[in-house]
Structure 1
Amino acid sequence: MTKRTSAKYKIDRRMGENIWGRAKSPFNTRSYGPGEHGQRRKSKVSDFGIQLRAKQKLKGYYGDVTEKQFRATYEEAVRLRGDTSENMIGLLERRLDAVVYRSKFVPTVFAARQFVNHGHIKVNGKRVNIPSYRVKEGDVIEVREKSKQLPLVLEAIGSPERDLPDYLDVDHNKMTATYVRIPQLMDVPYPVTMEPNLVVEFYSR
């Protein structure tokens, strides 16, 4: 299980954006960085700084995955045909924890990672406890029978905070989600602007 190295709302404030679009984010009331120097006047950011920020924001959005995992995703995206930045988004959205989060089975991407890790999810009828597991088109993801009435799950399903993307076919009555297709950047319901092209520039320097 990947360890989160910083509090999720500090990620919001460090990025200067409410990157998950959550009503509880302290960025809504404190739109400056964390720590004693958070309110300092911001200096002009270099091209490298802009690229680094784009990388940190995208990496943080998916649960602050490790640098090793994130770079490996980029390197795989380079090897695939087509646009590298679009490939990268497609690979990130195929992570099992991302699919569980997108399906609204849990309230946050951090909860999704823990939910998968604790064995609450099955893929095509088999239990999978690896958050970074890569789903394929046509795969059926479901919440285990014993886990369907967990308060965490019921809260997430009843929340109006997020919409379901059209590349997933979700049935909340059965607690299942079918991965219909690999999305492009424009299909992914990010609450803030993500710039994977800058991430590609950062790694290809």
Structure 2
Amino acid sequence: MSKRIQAKHKLDRRMGENIWGRPKSPVNRREYGPGQHGQRRKGKPSDFGIQLRAKQKLKGYYGNITEKQFRKIYDEALRLRGDSSENLIGLLERRLDAIVYRAKFVPTVFAARQFVSHGHVKVNGRRVNIPSYRCKVGDVIEVKQSSKQLAVVIESTASTERDVPDYLDVDHNKLTATLTRVPGLSEVPYPVMMEPNLVIEFYSR
């Protein structure tokens, strides 16, 4: 179980949005922030505050990414050709734990990190236990044979709560997923609006 199993609910409430689209989110019951001052009227946020919120929301969505890791991904997005905000999303979606989550092999991004760390996943036939491992187009991600009957896998693949995005070719019978292309922002099925352009502005200050 991920070390941030409780804090993820705090993030939902702090943002005031159900950022993972989960039915158990506390935002579904209380849309105001946590703590005794959560229901106070908020003033108009500054540009910095808006950018910081966008960064916290995007970083928090992918689970336990540290600030150092996230900043490194931003730096790489700047170095790549093209739109930096689109590059940022593409780099995040190529993480192994993100692909395992998108393929519906597990129910949450936190479970995906744990699933990879515990050695249940192979990439192109080789076991990889690094959640931040960056997959390339054409890579085949599969659940290890001895892990295919785990209850969490069976329940997640049978769930209708989420759909598999078009940039993954997934076979739930064989429990394999192939990254067919690097997605752009409009292709990623975020339950809430993400604003990577504001993240770029935040770090560019």
Q: Tell me what 2:29 maps to.
A: 29
Show CA shifts across 1:75-134 (max 9, x none): 000000000000000000000000000000000000000000000000000000000000
The 2-side partners of 1:118 and 1:39 are apart by 41
Q: Which residue of 1 aligns with 2:82?
A: 82
Q: Equivalent pairs: percent with the same residue?
A: 77
**Match for residue 153 of structure 1?**
153
Q: Contact between 1:5 and 1:64, CA under 8 Å: does it hold in 2?
A: no
Residue by residue over 1:121-167, the C-alpha shift from the partner in whole angstroms, topping out at 9 and shown as x without a partner, is: 00000000000000000000000011111111111111111111000
Secondary structure at the aligned position of 2:152 is classed as helix
**Shift in Å at residue 5 of structure 1?**
9.1
User: Under a length normalisation based on structure 2, what TM-score does the superposition of the two structures give?
Assistant: 0.97
> Comparing 136-145 with 35-44, which one deviates more in the overlay?
35-44
The residue aligned with 2:91 is 91
Distance, in Å, in 1 between the alignment partners of 2:39 and 2:33 is 7
Q: Any unmatched runs of 5+ in structure 2?
A: none
- Aligned residue in 1 for 2:125: 125
Match of 1:40 in 2: 40
In structure 2, what is the Cα distance between the partners aligned to 1:37 and 1:148?
Answer: 46
TM-score normalised by L of structure 1: 0.97
* Number of equivalenced pairs: 204
Deviations 1:141-199 (A, max 9, x none): 00001111111111111111111100000000000000110000000000100000000
Alpha-carbon distance in structure 2 between the residues aligned to 1:61 and 1:34: 18
Q: Distance in 2 between matches of 1:109 and 1:126?
A: 22
Q: Distance in 1 between matches of 2:30 and 2:136?
A: 40
What do you get for the CA RMSD once the two structures are aligned? 1.3
4+ residue segments displaced more than 3 Å: 2-6
Q: Does 1:173 align with 2:176?
A: no
Q: Does structure 2 conserve the Cα–Cα contact (< 8 Å) formed by 1:4 and 1:65?
A: no
Q: Which runs of 5+ in 1 are unaligned?
A: none
User: How far apart are residue 3 of structure 1 and its match?
Assistant: 5.8
The equivalent residue for 2:195 is 195
